[in-house]
Structure 1
Amino acid sequence: MPASEQVDVVVIGAGISGLAAAHWLSRKGIDVRVLEKESEPGGTMKTVREEGYLVELGPNSALETTPLISQLVSETGLQQDFLYANPAGRNRYIVKHGKLHALPLSPLSFLTTPLFSASAKLRLLREPFIERATHEESIAEFVRRRLGEEFLTYAIDPFVAGIYAARPDMLSVRSAFPKLFALEERYGGLLRGMVMGRRERKTRFERSKDRAKTFSFRNGMQSFPKRIADGLGRNVLLSARVTGIRDSGRNEVSEESDGARFLVEYLHADRSAELRARTVILATPARIAASLLKALSSPLARTLESVTYSPVASVFLGYNREDVGHALTGFGFLVPSVEQRRILGCLWSSSLFPGRAPEGRVGMTVFIGGGRQPELAALHNDKLVDLAASELKNIVQIRGKPVYWKCTSWPQAIPQYELGYDEKMQAVTDFEGESPGIFLCSNYRGGISVGDCIMSAAAVAQRAEEYLRRFQDR
């Protein structure tokens, strides 16, 4: 790549958001370049193979919540490697008084589960008659008001820890769980909304997250972004750290600029280089976007800097199958904060997908830290392994020591959609309206799941394409 080159679109960041956006733009014949500061693509999607184990350092799987996922898999030729999780993965567990209890999957199992008391179950009968709130609520306030304290304690609290690694009193229900919030807004209640919403989804052929299938790939989650990057070929530049974005302010096509309004400066192989572009897509974590946009909009930079992330340590443990008393037939378990344990939960990795552990072994992934105990995520690897192993010992009846382990710490793991978050994202939208040609796309905007990121990437790619078309039609 020459020191200075002109393209239609520069995408900064080669995580799933940036790569998906670049993929769809490229298929439209748009000249796109992706700049990634790391030596390999994928962002937090990182997979390693060691000693017969396949270990996910980031996301272990994803939900097939949008047809765009299967479209992207098909367009990149990954169909043969695509895997749905073991059907037993529908079985998920909650720790209560130190014991595992299955989350109920049917009305009958709900009536008989010991997770909730009889009074808590009867409390649900009041839910359709509870009025809407008049102010922005945290997810804790919302659930406590509509469903009661026990459902918050033994269902929503661990659920929030499993998704956001957060405390439910910190997150905005409107921002972090917009579909849950919409049930109350549209239908007046959750139970009525779930029934009516299911009927409406059937007519639109949509799939809700509770019915979406869990998937991964034969060689792990990182094979997804890697395959997208492979398809883009030399248009993805790795180990390229962007140092600045300059806006020339030129809105008219001229012989000199050919409409290249933005100058993207970066370092690659210890050399400075630049790309001139009509459009820039920032697909980076909020703090990186803030540093790059400071010269263009210091107010937006401050807003993005205020987006907080929860720290998480991921500890993969391998055991001899004979040393684990529990059958591990399921997805794993989550831990309510009231249990006062030092882990957020555990995935039974080798039960979900084939090829995750050698014959005669099992693999489990334990998550530590988050908004509950952020200091634990910074522990040394040896202490993380000891902590994880000691917490698992009684829960899944482990008799021996782990025969393999691997730790990964993510100091800035998951963006926190806190109270007031909608106002922050409105500032992003306002900036895009005032700065034609710049788009922001990452998991701090529009949802944190893989499916959310892919949908956001598709929307941004379409907006960028429309902007370029309008520009060319002048």
Structure 2
Amino acid sequence: MTRRIAVLGGGISGLTAAWNLASRGSAGALEVVLYEASSRVGGWMKTHTTSQGAVFECGPRSLRVTGHSAKTTMKLVSAIGLENEVLPVRSSSKAAQKRLIYTNRTGPVQLPSGPSWLFRTKPPFSKPLLGVVLRELMAKAGTGDESVFDFFSRRVGDEVTQYLVDPLCRGVYASSAKTLSVRSCFPQLVELESKYGSLVKGMLLDRLNKDATEVSALSQRAKDERWSVYTFRSGLQTLPDTLLTKIKERGVTVKMDQPCTELTFKDGKAMVKSGAEMEVFDNVVSTVSAKVLSQLLCGEQSQLSDDLSSIPCVTVGVVGLEYRAGDILPQDYREAFGYLVPSSESSRILGVVFDSASFPSQDRKDGPSTRLTVMMGGEWFDGLFGDPGSVREDTLSQIALEELNRQIGISAPPSFISTAILRDSIAQYAVGHSAKLDSISQRVSGLPLSLCGASYRGVSVNDCVHYAVEATNKIL
């Protein structure tokens, strides 16, 4: 008897789930149907290529190579035949080593990158960092969930938390370290504290333990060549586009422009309504956001719906800029990855990525140019710019240009501008998020429903891929 499984959402989680089901399930014993609300796949992963060949990412722009989830993604990349399309940045490159933060007092300054920071005072810090390391080794462990800011402030002090940890949170989650849960955003660090009593000690001792995760040829290559991050020659959109082709070849039915509009359960089965059509499935894998899923449930699942709707998302503005000059950046910044702005600083942007420094081969092909990406909004979007549904794209691009001029002195007009407003694009793991997940897990238990995607256990592409594989392995 054929088992029917529905996958809700054609982002990277949904495509990975469909691929894993179709490639591992027994031929003829499994029917997979994927529902996607829009006319394209990839979700927030979207690449725009200009007629001159310049590549701009409207969402995620690179993939990391360390950690279990990164290895899962590399296995997927190999399985669908994309090894030869990979475009890496090596750890030895200037872009990988030179990352900046911006303060109104100092302008962009380099993040700690070598042992000299332990013994010399360098801006924006008021003391050498050796004292921070010694403090961390002696800090007491915390109890319960706490904010990222409180966790790191307790272990390394306010200054390092303000200038190192908080900008990282803005770059990944578009949110303040004071809002986010350390247990949900950095679970590995909480585990190190619990196991070793110190992050520094734990990181050193963990290096001595070999990772038992199965290593693919691609991840071994990344290790041997010391990659920092990677993308694909034509941009990250290559990954979802290739997955779409592969799942169709495996017999997955893909319903574009056909969102699920209602999800109900009866007698151990799931009923998926899309438009006027209602189909019955043995299992449903939901990869849409928790907020969207909450709106599909009704009746007996009202409490689950309430739990899901309590996981918030923020809106991010992304402004891609191209300059026909190859040296538009000030000399000190030309080889840097980019810079982030701490929450404590007065700024209308979260940070800037210097795309040409990391991936110069993705610049336009007809002469020298420089590509930048300005990130805006997040937790602060409504307060800075107003209702995301009413803000004009050209308003954001103008603000981005003004901040670039104010912060690093770029006044020349760009030759190309690409602006995207990504509404409700990044889930927020606030303090107490893990308790919400426990409640959701209890309510889902017994239902033919699996949850994965960025709303739950990780917002990165690697996390989305990893947990989609994990969820579908359990079904299989």
TM-score between the two structures when normalised by the length of structure 1: 0.88
Q: How far apart in 2 are the matches of 1:23 and 1:105?
A: 40
- Mapped contact 2:315–2:381 kept (Cα < 8 A): no
Give the 3-state SS of the residue equivalent to 2:77 in structure 1: helix
Q: How far apart in 2 are the matches of 1:266 and 1:373?
A: 32
Q: How far apart in 2 are the matches of 1:203 and 1:10?
A: 33
- Mapped contact 1:7–1:276 kept (Cα < 8 A): no
Deviation at 1:373, TM superposition (A): 4.6
Matched, 1:340 2:358: no
- Quick one: which of 228, 245, 265 aligns to 2:263? 245
**Structure 1 residues 365-380: aligned runs within 5 Å:** 365-376=373-384, 378=388, 379-380=391-392
Deviation at 1:135, TM superposition (A): 3.6
**Structure 1's 20 and 283: CA in aligned 2 closer, same or farther, altered over 3 A?**
same
**Structure 1 residues 438-453: aligned runs within 5 Å:** 438-453=449-464
**Structure 1 residues 213-252: aligned runs within 5 Å:** 213-233=228-248, 235-250=253-268
Q: How far apart in 2 are the matches of 1:433 and 1:183?
A: 30
- Quick one: which of 157, 164, 168 aligns to 1:148? 157
Name the counterpart of 2:329.
Answer: 324
**Structure 1 residues 72-87: aligned runs within 5 Å:** 72-85=76-89, 87=93
User: Which letter maps to 2:262?
Assistant: G
Matched, 1:15 2:15: no
Name the counterpart of 1:425.
Answer: 437
**Structure 1's 24 and 431: CA in aligned 2 closer, same or farther, altered over 3 A?**
same
**Structure 1's 212 and 130: CA in aligned 2 closer, same or farther, altered over 3 A?**
farther
Name the counterpart of 1:413.
Answer: 425
Deviation at 1:64, TM superposition (A): 2.4
- Quick one: which of 98, 102, 112 aligns to 1:104? 112
Stretch deviating more after TM superposition (390-399 or 34-43): 390-399
Q: RMSD across aligned C-alpha pairs, in angstroms?
A: 2.3
- Mapped contact 1:313–1:367 kept (Cα < 8 A): yes
- Mapped contact 2:89–2:227 kept (Cα < 8 A): no
Give the 3-state SS of the residue equivalent to 1:225 in structure 2: helix
Name the counterpart of 1:383.
Answer: 395
- Mapped contact 1:120–1:148 kept (Cα < 8 A): no
**Structure 1's 294 and 196: CA in aligned 2 closer, same or farther, altered over 3 A?**
farther
Deviation at 1:265, TM superposition (A): 1.4
Deviation at 1:7, TM superposition (A): 5.2
- Mapped contact 1:171–1:419 kept (Cα < 8 A): yes
Name the counterpart of 1:257.
Answer: none
Name the counterpart of 1:355.
Answer: 362
Percent identity over the alignment is 29
Deviations 1:253-279 (A, max 9, x none): xxxxxxxx2221113xxxx22332111
User: Which letter maps to 2:281?
Assistant: A
User: Which letter maps to 1:362?
Assistant: T
Deviation at 1:226, TM superposition (A): 1.1
Give the 3-state SS of the residue equivalent to 1:70 in structure 2: helix
**Structure 1's 25 and 179: CA in aligned 2 closer, same or farther, altered over 3 A?**
same
Long gaps (5+) in structure 1: 1-5, 251-260, 466-474
Deviation at 1:181, TM superposition (A): 1.4
Q: How far apart in 2 are the matches of 1:123 and 1:440?
A: 40
**Structure 1 residues 123-142: aligned runs within 5 Å:** 123-142=132-151
Give the 3-state SS of the residue equivalent to 1:458 in structure 2: helix
Count of paired positions? 444
Deviation at 1:332, TM superposition (A): 0.8
Name the counterpart of 1:55.
Answer: 56
Matched, 1:283 2:313: no
Name the counterpart of 2:297.
Answer: 293
Q: How far apart in 1 are the matches of 2:82 and 2:264?
A: 38
Deviations 1:405-429 (A, max 9, x none): 1111112121111011011111221
Deviation at 1:110, TM superposition (A): 4.5
- Quick one: which of 127, 137, 140 aligns to 1:118? 127
Stretch deviating more after TM superposition (53-62 or 197-206): 197-206
**Structure 1's 376 and 222: CA in aligned 2 closer, same or farther, altered over 3 A?**
farther
**Structure 1 residues 132-281: aligned runs within 5 Å:** 132-201=141-210, 213-233=228-248, 235-250=253-268, 261-267=269-275, 272-281=276-285
Name the counterpart of 1:255.
Answer: none
Deviation at 1:395, TM superposition (A): 3.7
Q: How far apart in 2 are the matches of 1:365 and 1:430?
A: 41
- Mapped contact 2:8–2:260 kept (Cα < 8 A): yes
Give the 3-state SS of the residue equivalent to 1:291 in structure 2: helix
Deviations 1:365-419 (A, max 9, x none): 0011111454335442222122111211254442411121111111212111101
Q: How far apart in 2 are the matches of 1:393 and 1:161?
A: 21
- Quick one: which of 428, 446, 471 aligns to 1:460? 471
Q: How far apart in 2 are the matches of 1:122 and 1:369?
A: 34
Q: How far apart in 2 are the matches of 1:111 and 1:382?
A: 46
- Mapped contact 1:127–1:190 kept (Cα < 8 A): yes
Give the 3-state SS of the residue equivalent to 1:192 in structure 2: helix
